[in-house]
Copies of this chain bind each other. A is one copy, B any other.
Amino acid sequence: MSDAISALDTPAALVDARRMRDNIERMQARMDALGVKFRPHVKTSKCLPVVQAQIAAGAQGITVSTLKEAEQFFAAGITDILYAVGIVPSKLAQVLALRRRGCELKVITDSVAGAQAIAQFGREHGEAFEAWIEIDVDGHRSGIPPEGEALLAVGRALHEGGMRLGGVMAHAGSSYDCDEPPALRRVAEQERSGTVRAAERLRQAGLPCPVVSVGSTPTALSAQHLEGVTEVRAGVYVFFDLVMHNVGVCGLEDIALSVLTTVIGHQEEKGWAIVDAGWMAMSRDRGTGSQKRDFGYGQACTQDGEPIAGYVLASANQEHGILCRAEGVDREIAARFPVGTRLRILPNHACATAAQFPEYHAMVPGGEVETWPRFYGW
């Protein structure tokens, strides 16, 4: 394996395909055991081989964060797609075009104005858009509370407007702020119960609500049961990262994405090794900065992937990273990591780091390295 890795230019985004497969199997097995469908969020990888592995393992449909993802994965043959960002009227023409080509693209909304805009555009173009209602279960971002009149008003605007009210969906983003299993279980139950309650209220009002969709990586891995839920969504679990490690849902040894880098110099008296992975490679994400353990811009590992205890990317410029001991000065750093030494850096946030690279270099079983393209933009 090391020979193929040694031949790569740095910085490079490495995917450990065995770890990725294990992460996929772990999540799918959990969803199977909980009796729900699984709809992975592909915004993390934006990469066809990754998504194909998720589908091969049992995923049913995908979640996207941009219409570009919908276009790309539909072109690759995936038809059951949820666009999980509130739709604005100006994007409906693109949604319509995708649906006319056979894509079962679903949109979401959390306002009467949004629902009316969907219904109006749909009627004008003779299309019964499928829309889901976004539910707010933890106040972290978008969505309508499960209680109150707004939910039913949105439901009616869609249903009576001639659209297909496909279900409700929620994302408990506040789970990222937890780091203990009891708190994670509580957030997972809050996500489940709030979303199920919204579905029940719609049905009691005589409105259809076939799908009850919840999810985030931490809640998906923490829920004790998912009664009333029909499907779960999660994204970052496919690679995991240091933020998820701090949340407590993976070990360092599960993190499948890393950045390969080379030592380019030192400031010995400061205990610094300068590497060629700066924030352009790692992203500016400092997610662990507000968590129980701050990994700076990433945890250093050997080129073979073994974590080097206590050594982190403490700071970063555009193409320079400063690698040092997290605590105390290592005056032997130049001898420990001479110029040319290659290391791997585990990222704070896989979604953000992956987005900095045009492709992944995937270490697949047998020691080969495959190039997996990813796309970006909107």
Q: Which residues of A contact B (CB under 8 A)?
A: 9-12, 43, 65-66, 85-91, 94, 109-111, 113-114, 117, 136, 139, 141-142, 173, 262-267, 270, 274, 276, 279-281, 283-286, 317-320, 322, 338-340, 349, 351-352, 355-359, 376-378
Which residues of the other chain, B, contact A11 by a CB distance below 8 angstroms? 378
Q: Contact between A85 and B264 (Cβ–Cβ < 8 Å)?
A: yes
Task: With A9-B94, A142-B267, A358-B376 given, name 17 new contacts (CB 8 A).
Answer: A9-B91, A9-B378, A65-B280, A85-B264, A85-B320, A86-B274, A87-B264, A88-B264, A88-B339, A114-B265, A114-B339, A117-B340, A141-B274, A142-B320, A173-B317, A279-B352, A284-B352
CA distance A267 to B135 in the complex (A): 12
Which residues of the other chain, B, contact A90 by a CB distance below 8 angstroms? 9-10, 262, 340
Interface centre among A139, A317, A338, A358 (most CB of B within 10 A): A317
Interface centre among A274, A339, A357 (most CB of B within 10 A): A339
**Cβ 8 A contact of A317, one of B141, B266, B377:** B141
Q: How far is the CB of A152 from chain B (nearest CB, A)?
A: 18
Query: From A140, which residue of chain B is reached at the shortest CB distance?
Result: B317
Q: Contact between B265 and A111 (Cβ–Cβ < 8 Å)?
A: yes
CA distance A378 to B281 in the complex (A): 9
CA distance A43 to B279 in the complex (A): 13
CA distance A94 to B173 in the complex (A): 44
Which residues of the other chain, B, contact A279 by a CB distance below 8 angstroms? 285, 352
Which residues of the other chain, B, contact A114 by a CB distance below 8 angstroms? 264-265, 339
Q: Contact between B340 and A357 (Cβ–Cβ < 8 Å)?
A: no
Q: How far is the CB of A66 from chain B (nearest CB, A)?
A: 6
Q: Contact between A338 and B113 (Cβ–Cβ < 8 Å)?
A: yes
